[in-house]
Amino acid sequence: MTTVRSRGRSRPAAPPAAGEGAAPRRSLLRRLSVPVAVLAGAVVLGGCNAPTFGAFRGATTQGRDEFKIWVGFVITGLAVAAIVWGLIFWTVLRHRRKSHDEMPRQFHENIPLEIIYTTLPIVIVGVLFYFTVVTENEIDAVSSHPAEIVHVLGYRWGWQFTYDAGDGRAQGVQIATTAQPALLAQPATSKEYPQLVLPVGETVRIVLTSADVVHGFYIPELNFSRYAQPGVVNVFDFNPTRAGVFRGQCSEFCGLYHSEMLFSVRVMSDSAFQHWLSTEQVHQAGAGTGAAS
């Protein structure tokens, strides 16, 4: 049931004197001015972060796709909120009681309006669902010819990254957690934790699994998280778009030293990556596996 208008018949009353009613309205506006100013200030200050709406822009094509749909969802939500809040405040202010003996005209239905506010949300959800499916398919798509393949193994309490040539031939480069479980309280990018090195502008296949319990392979600045599950192999691609060092962590509580399951991702130029890879091959062939330098 909907009440769409309250303007209407009033009980007979003595006509107001000239100027009567203006004073209460000014008083109401004065009372509303402070909360409205506080709300506007909060919106303006919160707007310092407006371009990303609190998310990362992504450092891979997959992460950027994720960022785009995030922005679309936030803008859609804000538009809906603006319409709903606008109608609420307009109704409260425009149709507030103006005299104690007023009885507004009574309604109990409005079929066209009810059809609109039933179908419009369904259309909005349908559009958001469509773009969600499109984005998920883009993120989950894997190349048939990745430039590099990295096998990622999660285990209590660390990560192991093993590089593959892409044709099934292991390159002999393995980066793994070497620190003993302890509350190191170091940043994820420190050398106590392993580093996954990737070339910018190339397709890198990640083959993810777990040796024991469920872990979460989470890199916030790539807008990416995927379970590392024992007995299950998750395969996905990264296409890094810019160089940098990004922190990573386990996002699934897995036991006592879950907080120590940190790592980082370093994205560098392809030539620098090839140099790093060949250097690691030589180094590890003679000295065994070690932490990223």
Instruction: Please state whether beta strands 195-199 and 224-228 pair in parallel, antiparallel, or not at all (unpaired).
Output: unpaired
Stretch that binds Cu ion, among 122-130, 132-140, 213-221, 284-292 (CB under 5 A): 213-221
User: Number of C-alpha atoms within 13 angstroms, CB side, residue 269?
Assistant: 3
Provide, rounded to whole angstroms, the least separation between the CB of residue 40 and Cu ion. Answer: 42
98 near 21, Cβ under 8 Å? yes
Provide, rounded to whole angstroms, the least separation between the CB of residue 147 and Cu ion. Answer: 29
**Distances from the Cα of 70 to the Cα of 53, 77, 268, angstroms:** 8, 11, 27
Contact pick of 69, 219, 222, 250 for Cu ion (by CB under 5 A): 250
Stretch that binds Cu ion, among 30-38, 87-95, 97-105, 208-216 (CB under 5 A): 208-216
Provide, rounded to whole angstroms, the least separation between the CB of residue 251 and Cu ion. Answer: 7
Question: b/e string for 62-96 if b means 16 or more Cβ within 10 A?
Answer: bbbbbbebbeeeeeeeeeeeeeeeeeeeeeeeeee
Closer residue to Cu ion, CB minimum distance, 59 or 254:
254
Asked if 254 touches Cu ion (CB under 5 A), the answer is: yes
Closer residue to Cu ion, CB minimum distance, 74 or 176:
176
Q: What share of the chain is helix, strand, coil (3-state, %, to 5)?
A: 40, 25, 40
Stretch that binds Cu ion, among 182-190, 221-229, 237-245, 261-269 (CB under 5 A): 261-269
Question: Cα(95)–Cα(138) distance, rounded to whole angstroms?
Answer: 49
Q: Give the binding-site size for Cu ion (rule: CB under 5 A).
A: 5
Q: State which of positions 214-243 bind Cu ion (CB under 5 A).
A: 215
Provide, rounded to whole angstroms, the least separation between the CB of residue 194 and Cu ion. Answer: 14
Residues engaged in binding Cu ion (CB under 5 A): 215, 250, 254, 258, 261
